[in-house]
Amino acid sequence: MTTTPTSDRTILNRFGPYLVLLAVLIAVQLLVSAESFPALLDDFLKDPIDSLGAWGQVNRRTHPLFTQFFAPLTNTVDFGITTIEDILTWLPWYVIPAGLFALIARRRRFLDATVAAAVMIYPGLVGLWEPTLETLALMSFAVFASAVIGIPLGIWAAFRPRVEAALRPFLDIMQTVPAFVYFLPLLVLFGIGKTNGAIATIIYALPPVVRLTTLGIRQVPAQSVEASDMFGASASQTLFKVQIPTAMPTILAGLSQTIMMALGIVVLAALVAAGGLGGLVLQSLNQRTTGRGIAVGLAIVAVAMLLDRVGRSLADGDRTKTLSRGAKLAWAVSLIAGVLVGRWKEWDTFPTVWTTRIFDPIDTAVDWAIANWSQYTRAVNDFVVGDIVVPIRSFLIDTVAWPVLIVLATYMVWRIAGPKLAAFTAAAMATIGLIGMWDLSIDTVVQVMIGVIIAILIAVPLGIMAGRNARVEAVLGPILDGLQTIPSLVYIIPVVTLFTLGPMPGIIASVLYAIVPGVRITALGIQNVPSESVEASQTFGATRVQTMLGVRIPLAAPTIMAGINQVIMMVLAMVIIAGLVGGGALGFETVRALTRNLYGHGFEVGLSIALIAMVLDRSTQALAQRFQPPAAT
């Protein structure tokens, strides 16, 4: 059989452009393979920003920009945090858990009230009372400010689509850029201290409450709004008496997520001298005292739990679930009496019961694990680092020419998301190279992708199992809650001890931190597959495996991809943690820039991380959209 000229032309038209592209890439590879990316914009960006940072340090006390704007703002934030802290430290220690119990129990939330009071007592029992009050003051102010700013913005955006469109790119950037990137520019404006940590926390934790408030208001049934209008209610009456109460569960979900995100950054805020429990976690990491780290981490979790309970209690507007006036009055009188007696007896400091040394058996267990498992953990460490991380990094940095890598990455994104994101990807990669961050960024991406692959291999199968088996979901629930609430720096301490400093502890911590949304969102996708589709598959004689592979997973694919998107973003958010434990790359450079006031270098590192985050986030979102089933016509 012979091919016709027409078929030859068809094959040439189909594959010709790819062959030309391949030939060009090979030529570029041969010509440029030995050359590094020219950092033409390094000094162009770094020098002005260094000059700006130096100018800020010199003029912080004299220039009107600081004296009339940033200084008053700093003083306001510092006053708010200090006032809360002073009130908490002035009160007798037992009044705080008792007051929390009374505040929450007034809505007959007795279980939540008991939990909040109990978790507030825990830090005192283990000798962490004062640093816990410092962290509670910082988080309370940050969460309150996020709610005061975020809820009105969310309501405004719900009624004004143009406002939502204007806010969306800012919220996207605030949510995709890792939190620690904010610290360095805030360092120029506000210096070190609690104000820097609080404002960075507000910026990072604000998007969920804005987005979910908008979503909640828009999901209020139209019939409820129409009924309110029919009874002559004004727009403000409808908002406060119908729409906000109906949307409150969704708003509370956003506030809860804001609290969890604030919890995640409170440890890193110690890098800018915010104090509190975060500094103790960093000390535990430096000293490799796992037991103390867990004790401090549980205290941070306690702060998050009580803030969540208090927030839900304050937002509960159901007047049928409230104590009588007599009971409230009795609680108020008891608390006032407790304050007076406590101040008279000077019972403001929590009595010594235990210290964090009660957790020393954990250190003993870690020492035992080192003695018995180190030969295996070091072998795993050497394999992952020596046979996977280093070869891939060396291949991408030393072997593949940088223009070839840009073209290949741009082509992949174009196939996934189209020309706009492809053009942005090319521009982002070129920018990273031109500012001198190419090698560090490649190193970071390699570590991130290895962590993502391992997390996906663990999270997706576990999520499928949890989605199909309620017992598996019940068993995984407490484990996932622990991984989500305990600061990642806490469980990286034993990992560092077992695996030594290097990329491996950062990868493991990233996996542990990122599998939580992967498991939960995958399980949600499997559970939400329409029962009609499953029944139809079974009607045609499909086995369970065939139904899973042919129906459940394909229909849940968009949700699973959304989970993978969150896995990628959470692994990337752990870059700085990896830098703290020897992972190098952009994470270490961030820490170095923060600790040495390298403003220009820090800006370049932050810009590189932000560009990587935006490309990965948009690409995976676009990939999730491709899995969406076609709309019914």
Percent of the chain residues topping a pLDDT of 70: 92
- 48 has pLDDT over 60: yes
Categorize the per-residue pLDDT at 240 as very low, low, confident or very high, splitting at 50, 70 and 90.
confident
Give 624's contacts (C-beta < 8 A, 6+ positions apart): 558, 561, 562, 564, 565
To 10 degrees, the CA torsion angle through 279, 280, 284, 286? 30
Phi/psi of residue 587, nearest 5 degrees:
-60, -45
- 531 has pLDDT over 80: no
Predicted pLDDT of residue 633: 41
- 632 has pLDDT over 50: no
> pLDDT tens-digit profile of 296-322?
888 888 887 888 788 777 766 555 667
Predicted pLDDT of residue 6: 56
Predicted pLDDT of residue 429: 92
Q: How far apart are CA 259 and CA 263, in angstroms?
A: 6
Q: How far apart are CA 130 and CA 510, in angstroms?
A: 30
- 276 has pLDDT over 60: yes
- 284 has pLDDT over 60: yes
- 621 has pLDDT over 70: yes
Mutual angle of helices 71-90 and 194-218, in 10-degree steps: 90
Percent of the chain residues topping a pLDDT of 90: 3
Predicted pLDDT of residue 430: 92
- 116 has pLDDT over 70: yes
- Is residue 97 within 8 A of residue 302, CB to CB? The reply is no
Mean pLDDT of the 467-475 span = 84
Which of 106, 257, 250, 240 lies closest to 175 in space, CA to CA?
257
Q: 210 or 481: which carries more pLDDT confidence?
A: 210
Q: How far apart are CA 431 and CA 39, in angstroms?
A: 9
Predicted pLDDT of residue 427: 92
Mean pLDDT of the 51-70 span = 80
Mean pLDDT of the 204-214 span = 84
Categorize the per-residue pLDDT at 17 as very low, low, confident or very high, splitting at 50, 70 and 90.
low
- Is residue 299 within 8 A of residue 277, CB to CB? The reply is yes
pTM of the model: 0.76
- 213 has pLDDT over 60: yes
Mean pLDDT of the 188-214 span = 82
- 443 has pLDDT over 80: yes
Predicted pLDDT of residue 13: 60
Phi/psi of residue 416, nearest 5 degrees:
-85, -45
- Is residue 138 within 8 A of residue 269, CB to CB? The reply is yes
Predicted pLDDT of residue 200: 82
Structural domains present in the chain: 58-354 (1.10.3720.10), 383-397+438-633 (1.10.3720.10)
DSSP assigned state of 348: -
Mean pLDDT of the 316-338 span = 75
Q: Quote the tokens at residue 40.
A: 């033409």
- Is residue 610 within 8 A of residue 176, CB to CB? The reply is yes
Predicted pLDDT of residue 308: 77
Mean pLDDT of the 391-396 span = 88
